[in-house]
Amino acid sequence: MTTKLTSSAADHVNGERLLDLFLELAKLNAPSGEEQLVADYLKKALPDLGFTLEFDEAHKNFDGEVGNLIAWHEGTDSAIPPLFFSTHMDTVLPTEGLKPVIKDGVIHSDGTTILGADDRAALAAYLEAIRAIVEGGIPHGPIEFILTVNEQPGLVGARYMDYSKAKSKTGYIFDSSGDVGQIILKGPYSSRIWMEVEGNAAHIALNAEEGNSAFLLAADGLTKMKLGTIDDETLANIGIIKGGELTSIIPGSVTVAGEVRSFSKDKLDAQLEHMGNVMKEAAAKKGGKVSIKIEKKYSGFNIPTEDILVKTAETAAQNIQVRSYLTETLGGADTNVLNENGLTCLTLGLGFQNIHSFRECISVENLVNTGRLTAALIEQWYLNHKED
C-alpha cells in the first residue's frame, strides 16, 4: 500500500473558505423532515463541482419535504473503485435565527439555537474537499455523495433509501464527536421494546375495590428489571412511561417503552426477552397482563482492522499529521443502516461537541481538518488502488 508523508490534496483545502461555507450551511433552517432548503442549495452547488445528482422518494414514507440525495462525480480515472462520503442534511432542532460566535478558536451559536455542526460541518467539509481536489488537479477515482434526510429521529431516511441509485459500495461517514483521526470500526444493534401493561380501571371513590393499577403493576416490573449498563457490550433503558386519564381514576393501562443497544445480537435479544418476561411476570402475579412489541431500529456493523477502508483512513490521517485511533461506539449513525444494506462503511470523528443542545460547538481546527482528511482520503484511495 502506498504511504505518503504529506497530502497534496489536503494542502489545497482553504480553511477560511471552509469556515465561511460551514457558517452559510449552518444557517439553513432544515430540521428533520424539512430539508428542502439544503436540497435546493445542493442542487446549485453540486453541479458546479462536477456532480450529477438525483433524489429518491424516501420522504413519502414519513411525509417529509424531500428525499435522500445521491450525487455522482466521475473523477479523473474510472478504473478506480468509486468511494462514497455520506452525511445527513437535517438537524435535530431548527437553526432559524442562528448567530454563530467564534471564541478562542471554537464555533458556537449565541446560545439561543443549536449550531447544527451535527452534521453540517461534514457536509461543508465534503464540498470544500472536492473543490480542493478539482482546483489542485489531483487525480482521483469516482466520488459519490449519499446525503440522507430525517436522520436525527432514528436513521429514518437511510432506512427508506432507494439503494439501487447508489453506484459505490464503500465509503466513510463523518458523524462522531471524536476529534479528527477517530476511526469507529464497530457499531451496535438496537431495538425498541414497547410494553402495554393492563390492569383494571376504576374510580377511587365509587368502585376502588375493582381497580388494579397498571402503574403499580409496571412499577413492580421496573424495580425487578436489569437496566443501565448490562455488561461491557450492552445498554438498556426505559425512556417512556405514558398513561392515565384522570387523577380520580385508578389507571387501567400504561405504556412503558425502552431501548436496548448491544454489539452482540444475541445479547440484544436476551436483554429484550428479559425485560418483557420480567414485566409479564410482575403483572401476572397481581392479575394484570402485558402485550409486547419489539421494534428493530438498526443492525450493528464490525469492520476488520485490516480492511482497506481502515488502512486508507490511517494513512490519510498520517499524511495530514493528525493522530488516528481505532474505537467502537454504542451510538447509532447512518453507518449502521448503510452497512446493513450492502454499503461497507465506517464512521469517522469530526469533533463536534454537546450536540442536540444550545451548547453545541466545534473547533475551527477540527472543521478544517475534516476537510483536509476528506481530501486526503480521496487522494490515498486513488494511490492505493493505482498501486494495485
Which residues, in sequence order, are CB contacts of 224 under 8 Å at separation 6+?
Answer: 278, 282
* Predicted pLDDT at 155: 95
Tell me yes or no: is domain 8-187+300-387 CATH 3.40.630.10.
yes
**pLDDT for position 99:** 96
Residue 269 burial by CB count (10 A; 0-12/13-18/19+): exposed, middle or buried?
Answer: middle
Res 98: pLDDT: 96
**Residue 142 DSSP SS3:** coil
**pLDDT less than 50: residues of the chain:** none
> Which are the catalytic amino acids?
90, 151
Which pLDDT tens digit goes with each residue over 5-62? Answer: 566 899 999 999 999 999 999 999 999 999 999 999 999 999 999 999 999 999 999 9
What are the extents of the domains in the chain?
Answer: 8-187+300-387, 189-298
| C-alpha to C-alpha distance for 38 and 151, rounded to whole angstroms | 14
Which run of H or E residues covers position 374?
A: helix 364-387
Sign of CA dihedral 319, 373, 108, 22: positive
Residue whose cell numbers read 488516528: 324
We find that the CATH architecture of domain 189-298 is: 2-Layer Sandwich (3.30)
